[in-house]
C-alpha cells in the first residue's frame, strides 16, 4: 500500500469557474445528494467501490440531503454528502475543485469524525460499521503517480498486514482522466468518471449520449437531474453567488498569500542581512583575535629581546671583567718577568764575581 502523503505543493491556485459540470459542487450536491436521487448516488458508490453481483449496495439513505430552501451559495459551506446503505455502512462523498493546503489531513479528519459519530456515550463499540470516505478531485493530489484512483486502509507497514477495512478512503483525481472518446468496453467507474468530467457535453446536447454510457445504471438519471438543476433559476443564482463568493475568497487568499510571500521575502532578507552582520562581526572578532595574538607575539618577542639584551649586557660585563683580570694578570706577569730578569742579572753578577774570585785564588 502506498504512502497517502500528498506530494502536491502547498500554494492554492485561482478558483476554477465550473458552470455546466457535474463536478460543480452545488450541482453535485443536488444531483447526488437529494433524497429523490438516492439511486444515482447508489450507482456511483457501486462503481467507485467496484461492487458487483450480491455485493452491490442495494439501498442508500442520504443523511444530509439537499433541500431546496437551504441556501448553499456561501463559500464556507462544505457540500459533502453523507449516506448509509442497507448494511448501515457509512459514506462521505465530497467534490473538491481546487487544491487546498493539507487536503489529505482535512479529508481524514472528516472521515474520522463520521467514524466516531457512530458511538455515543456508554454505547458499545460493536455498533461501529464500516466507514468510507470518497474525495472526487479536479486537481492532481499525488503528483508523483499516474494512478487516478487511490484507496487507503489501516495497514501494518512492518508485517505487510491490513489491520481492518472498517476505515477506508478513496481519492479520485479527475485531472488524470483524459478519455474523452470511449473506445471498447469500459468499467462502470471509467464511465462515471467520463460523465463527471464531460457530462456537460451531453447535458447541453452538444453530442449524443453513447449507448455504453446510457446503459450504465444511474448515468441517464444523473444527466436528467443535472439538466433540471441548471434549468432552475434559483439554483443558477446559488451557483453564481457561490462562485462569486469563491472568487472573492480566492482574491483575498491571493492577496494574503502575496503579502505572506512578501513578508517571507522580507524576513529572508532580514535573516540574510543578520547573517552577513554576524559574519562581519565574526570576521571582526577573528581580526581582533589575530591582532591580539600578534600583539602577544610582539610582547613575547620584546620580552625575549629584553632577556637577550640583559644576557648580552651580563656577558659584556663578564667579558670586561675577564679582560680586566687578564690585563691585571699580564701586568703582574710583566712585573714578575722584570723581577725575574733582575734576579737573573743579580745572579749573573754574583756568578761573575765568584768566577773572578776563583781566578784570583787560582792565580
pLDDT band at 129 (very low <50, low <70, confident <90, very high): very high
Q: Is 284's pLDDT higher than 70?
A: yes
Q: Is 151 helix (H, G, I), strand (E, B) or coil?
A: strand
Position 49 scores a pLDDT of: 93
Instruction: Choose between 363 and 210: higher pLDDT.
Output: 210
Tracing cell 448515468 back to the chain, one arrives at: 219
Q: Is 53 part of a structural domain of the chain?
A: yes
Please state, in angstroms and as integers, the Cα–Cα distance from residue 220 to each residue in 147, 175, 199, 202, 344, following that order: 27, 23, 10, 10, 160
Q: Is 248 part of a structural domain of the chain?
A: no
What is the rounded average pLDDT of the residues 267-272? 86
What is the rounded average pLDDT of the residues 114-135? 91
C-alpha–C-alpha distance, residues 220 and 33, integer Å? 16
Instruction: Report pLDDT digits (tens) over 11-64.
Output: 434 444 445 578 888 888 889 988 999 999 999 999 999 988 888 898 888 888
pLDDT band at 249 (very low <50, low <70, confident <90, very high): confident
Position 97 scores a pLDDT of: 82
**Other CB atoms within 10 Å distance of the CB of residue 28:** 27
Contact 249, 75 (CB under 8 A): yes
Q: Is 30 part of a structural domain of the chain?
A: yes
Position 4 scores a pLDDT of: 43
Position 264 scores a pLDDT of: 85
pLDDT band at 131 (very low <50, low <70, confident <90, very high): very high
Q: Is 299 part of a structural domain of the chain?
A: no
| pLDDT more than 90, % of the chain | 31
Contact 84, 91 (CB under 8 A): yes
Range of the domain at 102: 25-231
Q: Is 289 part of a structural domain of the chain?
A: no
Position 79 scores a pLDDT of: 66
pLDDT band at 96 (very low <50, low <70, confident <90, very high): confident
pLDDT band at 70 (very low <50, low <70, confident <90, very high): low
Instruction: Tell whether the torsion through CA atoms of 24, 30, 33 and 36 is positive or negative.
Output: negative
In this predicted structure, which of 166-175, 200-209, 228-237, 320-329 has the lowest mean pLDDT? Answer: 228-237
Q: Is 56 part of a structural domain of the chain?
A: yes
**Other CB atoms within 10 Å distance of the CB of residue 114:** 20
C-alpha–C-alpha distance, residues 119 and 128, integer Å? 7
C-alpha gyration radius of the chain: 53
pLDDT band at 67 (very low <50, low <70, confident <90, very high): low
For the chain, the average pLDDT equals 84
pLDDT band at 241 (very low <50, low <70, confident <90, very high): confident
Q: Is 342 part of a structural domain of the chain?
A: no
What is the rounded average pLDDT of the residues 260-275? 85
Q: Is 175 part of a structural domain of the chain?
A: yes
Q: Is 73's pLDDT higher than 70?
A: no
C-alpha–C-alpha distance, residues 360 and 93, integer Å? 168
Q: How many domains does the chain have?
A: 1
pTM for this predicted structure: 0.64
pLDDT band at 181 (very low <50, low <70, confident <90, very high): low
Amino acid at each position: 500500500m502506498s504512502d497517502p502523503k500528498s506530494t502536491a505543493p502547498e500554494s492554492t491556485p485561482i478558483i476554477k469557474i465550473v458552470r455546466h459540470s457535474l463536478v460543480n459542487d452545488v450541482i453535485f450536491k443536488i444531483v447526488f445528494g437529494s433524497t429523490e436521487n438516492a439511486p444515482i448516488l447508489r450507482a456511483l458508490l457501486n462503481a467507485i467501490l467496484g461492487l458487483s453481483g450480491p455485493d452491490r449496495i442495494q439501498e442508500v439513505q442520504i443523511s444530509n440531503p439537499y433541500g431546496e430552501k437551504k441556501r448553499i451559495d456561501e463559500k464556507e459551506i462544505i457540500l459533502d454528502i453523507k449516506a448509509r446503505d442497507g448494511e448501515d455502512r457509512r459514506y462521505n462523498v465530497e467534490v473538491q475543485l481546487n487544491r487546498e493546503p493539507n487536503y489529505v489531513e482535512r479529508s481524514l479528519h472528516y472521515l474520522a469524525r463520521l467514524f466516531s459519530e457512530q458511538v455515543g456515550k456508554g454505547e458499545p463499540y460493536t455498533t461501529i460499521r464500516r466507514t468510507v470516505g470518497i474525495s472526487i478531485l479536479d486537481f492532481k493530489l499525488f503528483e508523483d503517480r499516474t494512478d487516478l484512483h487511490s484507496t487507503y486502509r489501516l495497514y501494518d507497514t512492518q508485517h505487510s498486514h491490513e489491520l481492518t477495512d472498517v476505515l477506508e478512503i478513496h481519492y479520485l483525481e479527475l485531472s488524470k482522466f483524459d478519455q474523452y472518446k470511449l473506445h471498447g468496453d469500459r468499467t462502470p467507474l471509467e464511465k462515471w468518471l467520463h460523465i463527471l468530467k464531460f457530462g456537460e457535453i451531453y447535458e447541453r446536447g452538444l453530442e449524443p449520449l453513447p449507448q455504453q454510457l446510457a446503459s450504465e445504471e444511474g448515468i441517464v438519471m444523473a444527466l436528467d437531474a443535472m439538466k433540471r438543476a441548471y434549468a432552475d433559476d434559483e439554483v443558477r443564482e446559488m451557483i453564481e453567488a457561490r462562485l462569486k463568493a469563491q472568487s472573492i475568497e480566492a482574491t483575498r487568499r491571493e492577496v494574503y498569500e502575496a503579502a505572506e510571500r512578501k513578508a517571507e521575502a522580507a524576513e529572508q532578507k532580514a535573516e540574510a542581512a543578520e547573517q552577513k552582520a554576524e559574519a562581519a562581526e565574526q570576521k571582526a572578532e577573528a581580526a581582533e583575535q589575530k591582532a591580539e595574538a600578534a600583539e602577544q607575539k610582539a610582547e613575547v618577542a620584546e620580552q625575549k629581546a629584553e632577556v637577550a639584551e640583559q644576557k648580552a649586557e651580563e656577558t659584556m660585563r663578564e667579558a670586561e671583567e675577564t679582560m680586566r683580570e687578564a690585563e691585571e694578570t699580564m701586568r703582574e706577569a710583566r712585573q714578575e718577568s722584570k723581577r725575574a730578569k733582575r734576579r737573573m742579572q743579580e745572579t749573573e753578577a754574583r756568578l761573575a764575581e765568584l768566577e773572578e774570585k776563583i781566578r784570583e785564588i787560582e792565580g
